[in-house]
Structure 1
């Protein structure tokens, strides 16, 4: 069974929100207000959140699950927004089945992770995971993600809904992105693309976004200054405004944006 949130009018354009590593569908809670204008679908990737699937953890399988979910819901096309690992997944979707993609929002993600770089990061994550409890590791990751980890109110808010560590699948999911290269996919992608990045992102450095922007010469780009890896919760009002402005340019039913 797929675990997902589905809100908004059925006759509106569909926006699929794909979360990052170790996260869950609820991490998009500040974006659910977009359901006023779009049908918003936020799935749990397999091995994450409340998903009942915990085997075959790969980028291709993540993408296939989402494609199958949309087929199950009789949705023929959608806009896709993916953050971090979710951004990699939606690049696999547009590579595998471009016909279902209306537009791409690539947030704080990468199109290319060199194998040795990825394996080193995986090794460091494995060490930290081995010496921390689930709760401590989640707190550690939140601090790494945030621009201002001293903001206790925001820290506790994010801690309450953003991450949900699954030790059985976490490292497998982390390994799934090692060695990926979607630069040529972006280069020849005819779909509207916006790249969202943060200058202070310690998880996915800003260089990744500039590389993606060069690979997709007709893409748009929006940069957050005082945000880390999670601008969707650190700066939700601006993040939603960026999404809404982009989506309204490329929606099927332009009248619905009025």
Structure 2
């Protein structure tokens, strides 16, 4: 099960599909309001989004397809959705690969989120999204990742962006709880060493959880599955295969 981040879609996994399908059956999810789900759900969902409600969407898809349990691969904000699903139904998550994981907003990212919250009603959401993309992925070798996420974010409408933006207020309280809750689910964090906003909190999370491990990719930023797909694929596939047996 592949779970993308906010503003993306299942297309961000294009560099994983060929390698993974040699070993596993794959299911790529478009989260509510994203990708092909945008046309189906944007007029049906009016309530405020929460990580729990979005995570239950994934569990409902599993129910619909009669999937009892699966290995999960998440990216960026999608890692919080995977982790929330594991909290709701741990028996259904066999392992977790969490790439570019968000485990806490540091001071810089909290300021960024606060500014975005202040201006989200008065300026076009794509201006905010492009600014965030450049701040989170500033290096030249991250240009492909930035363009990919900006392209996919254009498929969101302003109202949908605001719904997803409200989730940022949940991140730190939720992750403080998750840090205290060490689920007995094998977990691999895959992080770019240049992911300056998020890598240190991940190191702290891994140090606190005995079922977790960290793999750092050299000279790589936030969206490590796009920037270094070969290393991401090799390490994550090996990890999942080790859980199978």
- TM-score, normalised by the number of residues in structure 2: 0.82
5+ unaligned residues in a row in structure 1: which ranges? 1-15
Shift of 1:210: 0.7
Distance in 1 between residues matched to 2:211 and 2:99, nearest whole Å: 16
Distance 2:129 2:27 in 1: 25
1:69 — aligned with what? 61
Aligned to 1:104: 96
Secondary structure, aligned partner of 1:104? strand
Given that residues 122 and 175 in structure 1 are in contact (C-alpha distance below 8 angstroms), is that contact kept between their aligned partners in structure 2? no
Partner of 1:143: 134
Shift in CA distance, 49/55, structure 1 to aligned 2, threshold 3 Å: farther
- Deviations for 1:161-191, whole angstroms, at most 9, x for unmatched residues? 5534432122332332333131123x2x111
What displacement does 1:96 show?
0.5
RMSD, matched Cα: 2.8
Counterpart for residue 232 of structure 1: 225
Could you say which structure has the higher helix fraction? 2
SS in 1 for 2:72: strand
Instruction: Decide whether aligned partners of structure 1 residues 21 and 159 sit closer, same or farther in structure 2, where only a CA change above 3 A counts.
Output: closer
**Do the aligned partners of residues 135 and 72 (structure 1) sit closer, same or farther apart at CA in structure 2, a change above 3 Å counting?**
same
- C-alpha distance in 1, partners of 2:89/2:142? 41
Distance 1:150 1:240 in 2: 19
Displacement of 1:29 in angstroms is 1.2
Distance 2:31 2:222 in 1: 19
Counterpart of 2:189 (choices 195, 202, 205) is 195
**Given that residues 47 and 55 in structure 1 are in contact (C-alpha distance below 8 angstroms), is that contact kept between their aligned partners in structure 2?**
no
The answer on whether the counterparts of 1:22 and 1:166 sit within 8 Å (CA) in structure 2 is: no
Distance 2:73 2:209 in 1: 16
Q: Does 1:19 align with 2:23?
A: no
Name which of 229, 232, 246 aligns with 2:239.
246
Aligned residue runs from structure 1 range 88-167, under 5 A: 88-113=80-105, 120-126=111-117, 133=124, 136-146=127-137, 148-149=139-140, 154=144, 158=148, 162-164=152-154, 165-167=156-158
The answer to whether structure 1 residue 216 and structure 2 residue 212 are counterparts is: no
Q: Structure 2: how far apart are the matches of 1:65 and 1:106?
A: 19
SS of corresponding position for 2:82:
helix
Between the aligned partners of 2:230 and 2:136, the Cα distance in structure 1 is 18
SS in 2 for 1:80: strand
After superposition, the C-alpha distances for 1:192-234 in whole angstroms (9 at most, x for unaligned) are: 11111222214x4211111110221232210122111101111
User: Which residues of structure 2 form unaligned runs of 5+?
Assistant: none
Partner of 1:58: 50
* Structure 1 residue aligned with 2:31: 45
Contact 1:77 1:100 in 2 (8 A): yes
What CA distance in whole angstroms lies between the structure 2 residues aligned with 1:55 and 1:117?
A: 31
